[in-house]
Chain A
């Protein structure tokens, strides 16, 4: 059999295009012909490699989502900075200091403010449509406008509650807007899932009770954080202070 015929037959064999009799004869030939065996291996290799590239399956996409979320967490997207001139620059510096003091509020001594996490919303994915909305929300979130961020994130969350990154920042925005109960619904769902924000959500459920001065409930939730999680050390410290 010429190489070309062999190739066509291997393709027809793999693609299930052979009739029963032909198939049987081909399998007999395959057992004896090492060149045919090599062709079959090459065929499968090319088929599989190409399939990964042009037709990723649901699991491939799921992993990509996980990596996108983690990229947002561990790599900060570089934002564009605006150049400011002269006294405007100093006014901005002063304003940032004042806002900083208000957020930090050392005089209030609030444990919630002190132990709050996730104060920077990073968006790793770039795109248009819903992605653009998320970027807009991130811009507001990062300046401390949680009410503005929540307004944008609410419909994005409703249309796809499975999207962990959106759920997480939406949850925190709600806590900041004194909608703790609503926030806990969102965060609890996240905690019950298996995304990378699972324990971040748990930590923030605990914090939402701290904010409401419900130390008893806060302790229950914070104690659930496993020892190998990022939030553990901070949660442990907070637990000591709440006791």
Chain B
């Protein structure tokens, strides 16, 4: 059965296109809710601002690179993503939440939970890939970073003081080591 895309998909499109009017609308609808929820749960207004921005960037990436299709309303989805992010943060900082999270989330539909789960999984995966990247040797990290930044290979070779042929070969090797590293971290987990 085809997915029923919610009309609120326009918010995802707005984020992907950096549409100031739509993004302003998101802030107008949701910023104060997150602000009061996080400050009520022992966070500061700066924490709320950071969490809100981080959640919107995650959703944007999901929309831009993974063609996120929203099947639930946007507002509860964003609020749930922010709340989970904050609950994770306070766990790390050993702060006790005030809100009983179960009770607080009673009125949210199953779809919203599923989509928030998906976003969380993606963010976790992305962290895992990054930790694999950090385990590579310094040279490989350098080569992968340069090439991902879209610099011309000739320029990168010159900057690293190697020949063009060596760089091409080394880049493939480094990427293969990265994938191997990801696979081994996944097996360890």
| Chain A positions near chain B (C-beta within 8 angstroms) | 4, 7-8, 10-12, 14-15, 17, 39, 42-43, 45-55, 57, 59-60, 62-64, 66-68, 70-71, 73-78, 124, 194-196, 198, 228, 230
Supply 10 further A-B pairs (C-beta < 8 A) apart from A51-B148, A54-B148, A67-B57. A7-B176, A11-B176, A12-B172, A42-B182, A47-B148, A50-B144, A54-B145, A55-B150, A67-B53, A76-B45
- Within the complex, the shortest CB–CB distance from B181 to chain A, in Å, comes to 10
Instruction: State which size class the interface on B falls in.
Output: 35 or more
Q: Is B84 an interface residue (CB 8 A)?
A: no
- 10 A-B pairs in the complex with CB atoms less than 8 angstroms apart: A7-B179, A8-B172, A8-B176, A11-B172, A11-B173, A59-B18, A63-B18, A68-B53, A71-B53, A74-B31
Which of A46, A53, A67, A124 is the one whose CB lies under 8 Å from B179? A46
- Within the complex, the shortest CB–CB distance from B161 to chain A, in Å, comes to 20
Say whether, besides A54-B133, A59-B18, A8 and B173 are in contact (CB < 8 Å). Answer: yes
**Interfacial chain A residues near B169, Cβ < 8 Å:** 17
Query: Once bound together, how far apart are the Cα atoms of A92 and B35, in whole Å?
Result: 30
Q: Are B179 and A42 in contact (CB under 8 A)?
A: yes
Query: Once bound together, how far apart are the Cα atoms of A17 and B164, in whole Å?
Result: 12
**Interfacial chain B residues near A57, Cβ < 8 Å:** 150
Top 9 A-B pairs, shortest CB-CB distance = A75-B49, A74-B31, A55-B148, A11-B172, A11-B175, A11-B176, A55-B149, A12-B172, A7-B176
Q: Is B61 an interface residue (CB 8 A)?
A: yes
**Interfacial chain B residues near A7, Cβ < 8 Å:** 176, 179-180
Q: Nearest residue in B to A18 (C-beta to C-beta)?
A: B172
Q: Are B133 and A78 in contact (CB under 8 A)?
A: no
**Interfacial chain B residues near A196, Cβ < 8 Å:** 20, 23-24
Q: Nearest residue in B to A64 (C-beta to C-beta)?
A: B57
Say whether, besides A70-B24, A71-B49, A198-B20, A52 and B126 are in contact (CB < 8 Å). Answer: yes
Which of B23, B45, B175 is the one whose CB lies under 8 Å from A75? B45
Q: Is B27 an interface residue (CB 8 A)?
A: yes
**Interfacial chain A residues near B145, Cβ < 8 Å:** 54-55
**Interfacial chain A residues near B182, Cβ < 8 Å:** 42, 46
Say whether, besides A55-B145, A63-B15, A66-B18, A43 and B175 are in contact (CB < 8 Å). Answer: yes
